Structures are given as C-alpha cells and as structure tokens.
C-alpha cells in the first residue's frame, strides 16, 4: 500500500490526476484492466462517507493507454468541497480480491472565483 500527500487542488477547477497501478507480485505496471475494478474516494477527515467517488464504471476513471489511468472530478463536484484537508483512498479489486492500493491526504483550497 502506498501513502501519498497530494499537492493542493482548487475547489473551483476540475481535478484530474494520471496514475499507474503496479502489480506488487511482479513489480510491473498493469496494462490490462479487464476484470479490474478501481475505486477512488475522497472524504472529510474522520468521516465515514465519501464526498467524491470515481470508478471506471462511472466514467470518472479512464484508461489513457500503456498502463496509465486518469481520474477526473469535474468543477461541478469540486465546488461542493469547502477548503480543508481531505482523506483519499484507492482500492483495487482483481480476481475477486480487494487490496488497499493507496491512502493519503489532499488539501483543497478555496479557488475564490464564484462562477
């Protein structure tokens, strides 16, 4: 499992982030996502329920090719977050086995612009 501290993001802009998934057993980048489920959730610190959720199925995680995935939380969802530090987690389900791939924090700053 990886631990990450993300750079600040604005609550008045889209937040996209490319990432790779490394197979811990072989230490190689996974390039075939057939049968793989990736879930990313962002929540307030200490909360139990996510404020943002991205999956391949909901279209917020897309395969960019060559083992690169990218998540996108649109501005319309980011504006629902107050300036604060949030927790982020990523799980991967493959062959009916779920692993916690990443946990971390992301500071969300007030982007000031109202529209």
Q: Which residues are 4's β-sheet partners? A: 104
Residue range(s) defining the domain that contains residue 61: 2-109
Average pLDDT of the residues of the chain: 93
- Residue 69 domain-assigned? yes
Please count the structural domains in the chain.
Answer: 1
**Residues of the chain above pLDDT 90, percent:** 77
Q: Which residues are 103's β-sheet partners? A: 3, 89
**Residues of the chain above pLDDT 70, percent:** 99
Q: How far apart are CA 73 and CA 75, in angstroms?
A: 7
- Residue 114 domain-assigned? no
pLDDT greater than 80 at residue 101: yes
- Residue 94 domain-assigned? yes
Q: Is the Cβ–Cβ distance between 101 and 91 less than 8 Å?
A: yes
**Nearest by Cα to 113 from 4, 37, 12, 38:** 12
CATH number at residue 32: 2.60.40.10
Helix (H, G, I), strand (E, B) or coil at 76: helix
What number is the average pLDDT over the span 25-50?
A: 92
Tens digit of each residue's pLDDT (9 = 90 or more) over 48-71: 999 999 999 999 999 999 999 999
């Amino acid at each position: 499992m990886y631990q990450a501290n993300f750079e600040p993001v604005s609550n008045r802009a889209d937040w996209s982030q490319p990432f790779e998934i490394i197979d811990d057993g072989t230490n190689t980048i996974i390039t075939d996502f057939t049968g793989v489920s990736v879930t990313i959730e962002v929540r307030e610190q200490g909360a139990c329920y996510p404020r943002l959720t991205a999956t391949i199925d909901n279209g917020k995680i897309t395969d960019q090719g060559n083992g690169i995935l990218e998540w996108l939380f649109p501005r319309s969802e980011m504006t629902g977050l107050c300036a604060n530090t949030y927790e982020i987690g990523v799980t991967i389900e493959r062959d009916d086995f779920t692993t916690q791939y990443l946990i971390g924090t992301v500071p969300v700053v007030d982007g000031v612009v109202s529209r």
